[in-house]
Amino acid sequence: MNQWLAMPAACFVLMLSSAVVAGELDAGKALAKKNLCFDCHGLSGNSDLYNNEAPWVPKLAGQPVGYLVKEMKAYRSGSRQDELMSPIMQPRTDAEIDLLAAYFAAQKRY
């Protein structure tokens, strides 16, 4: 491919991949809303709903995707147990966990 084609082609690929990422984040957000994650962890994943008066609810914002996926699967399998989180994670599929993790990992932590 010559250099005059390479540039627009690269831009197109970039646009395409950012559209895919945005779609993934929207899907993760919708899932989080449906499954009440925001009620405890907040829309931004900073778990500051009660003016930080519930420090036992961990912040999800900005945590590594891999960590969030690993912990959600641990609740699902029972290797990590919590009376609130375990029942929420038990019915989740791998695909749902990936989307939820992608959404919260992408939020700004404060």
Q: What is the CA radius of gyration of the chain?
A: 17
State the Cα–Cα distance between residues 40 and 15, nearest whole angstrom.
34
Q: Using the rule CB under 6 A, is 105 a contact of ligand HEC?
A: no
Structure token pair of residue 97: 């966990």
Instruction: Identify residues 30-89 at the interface with ligand HEC (CB under 6 A).
Output: 32, 35-37, 39-41, 56-58, 60, 68, 71-72, 82, 84-85, 88
Strands (E), 1-110: none
What residue ranges bind ligand HEC (CB under 6 A)?
Answer: 32, 35-37, 39-41, 56-58, 60, 68, 71-72, 82, 84-85, 88, 100
